[in-house]
Amino acid sequence: MDYEIFELGDVTLQSGVTLPNAFLAYKTYGKLNKKKDNVIIYPTAFGDQHVQNEWLIGKGMALDPQKYFIIVPNLLGNGLSSSPSNTPPPFDRANFPQVTIYDNVKLQYRLVTEKFGIQKIALVVGWSMGGIQSFQWGASYPDMVERIAPFCGGAKTWPQTYVVLDGMKAALMAAVGFDSSKINKLTSAEMRAVGRVYAGWGLSQAFYREELYREMGYDSLEGFVAGVWEDSFMNMDPHNVLAMLWTGQFADIGADPAYNGDFDEALKSIKALACIMPGSTDLFCTADENKYEAMLIPNAVFNPIESIWGHFAGRGINKVDNKFIDDNLKRLLALSINE
């Protein structure tokens, strides 16, 4: 086991449901300094675990463990933190409660403050649903978070993004005839169709047209779809996926009780220096929606990743995109809140 567990006890979620014996799985990189002010939070995205975040961490990079104390908390539902697959009855599998982005960040806050005694965070950064969490951190704890850097992720799930996630859910539910009473019969084999649905959204039209999958070692479109999308999704537990899809579909930083559903007010409340990096060809976390969000955040810079890798411009696969993200993070970390 290359990660640690933070026991949360019985947790009352935003829905009002109490999840007993909840826990967060997390991994740290580097050392916390005496002032406890060299902290970077780097939450995981949908379907990812902390290992998938490691491409952005390393010596000489913005997220340098020799300089910063980097905490990677795993998303609830991802199979490592409390999830349908590892929670005992009566909250196992289909009975796992609905968890929000607000819930995730609130529990991460407990990890940061109770476990480590941290009161100031230099940066919260994340891709996709990790990006949503970085917005949430900025809105929920504006006096604690100095910088945020979401990439390929919005501050809420806009309507078209909701529809994309709903299509993924539908592909899974079709396997049980859309009968919610049969959800517990789902197996990872049914995830194959979900991977096929996501294949058309994760990357741009130009990526497929220019056959960039050949750079990843695939000599045909079919081989790429089967080898990447089918295989990756079939490695996921379907109940975990349904839980994370719900979290994603209903993500909205305005749903924080402090803002009572006022999305614009939540954005305006963020005091952190923000570098918002959408993928220029992202098909479902669009640059236009990020641009709107950036306009309302007082100290935000809108800096799209000019790439034909779509949503996966932020996935750590393409070296040019990786350098763009890392360079922007270095610039952001070099700035003071007073500049």
**Per annotation, catalytic residue among 81, 83, 311, 321:** 311
Q: What is the pTM assigned to this prediction?
A: 0.97
Q: Determine which one of 103, 237, 256, 282 is catalytic.
A: 282
| Active-site annotation holds for 103 | no
Q: What is the pLDDT along the chain (339 residues), one digit of tens a residue?
A: 899 999 999 999 999 999 999 999 999 999 999 999 999 999 999 999 999 999 999 999 999 999 999 999 999 999 999 999 999 999 999 999 999 999 999 999 999 999 999 999 999 999 999 999 999 999 999 999 999 999 999 999 999 999 999 999 999 999 999 999 999 999 999 999 999 999 999 999 999 999 999 999 999 999 999 999 999 999 999 999 999 999 999 999 999 999 999 999 999 999 999 999 999 999 999 999 999 999 999 999 999 999 999 999 999 999 999 999 999 999 999 998 665
Q: Could you give the CA distance from residue 112 to residue 40 in angstroms, rounded to a whole number?
A: 10
| Cβ contacts of 90 within 8 Å, gap of 6 or more | none
Asked about 82 being catalytic, the answer comes back as: no
Q: Which of 85, 128, 134, 269 is flagged as catalytic?
A: 128
Q: Which of 249, 135, 240 is nearest to 183 (CA)?
A: 240
pLDDT in tens, 141-189: 999 999 999 999 999 999 999 999 999 999 999 999 999 999 999 999 9
As a whole number of angstroms, the distance between CA 95 and CA 184 comes to 9
311 assigned to active site: yes
